[in-house]
Amino acid sequence: GEMLSMIAHQWRQPLATLGTIVSKIKIKQDLDMYSKENFNTDFQKMNSIIIHLSKTNKYLCSSAELVPG
């Protein structure tokens, strides 16, 4: 239970940020206001968050292996 709580805590904010970026893309796209510069910026932000989540996942998985079952 505690491990799942840690995972949820570590992932909640980055997932919310990804959701915000995706919503912004959709709105700007619908209004024909989404440029290549917007894409490049948003892509970099989303990629950075995905890398962070991947590292967090690897850390939590390796930590779980150290905890006796």
pLDDT higher at 3 or 17: 17
Q: Which of 8-12, 15-19, 55-59 has the highest mean pLDDT?
A: 15-19
Chain mean pLDDT for the chain: 88
- The set of residues, in sequence order, having a beta carbon less than 8 Å from that of 52 and lying 6+ positions away, is 14
pLDDT per residue as tens digits for the range 35-63: 999 999 999 999 999 999 998 888 877 87
pTM above 0.85, yes or no: no
44/34 Cα distance (integer angstroms): 15
> Residue 64: is its pLDDT beyond 80?
no
In SS3 terms, the chain reads as CHHHHHHHHHHHHHHHHHHHHHHHHHHHHHCCCCCHHHHHHHHHHHHHHHHHHHHHHHHHHHHHHHCCC
Confidence of residue 27 (pLDDT cuts 50, 70, 90): very high
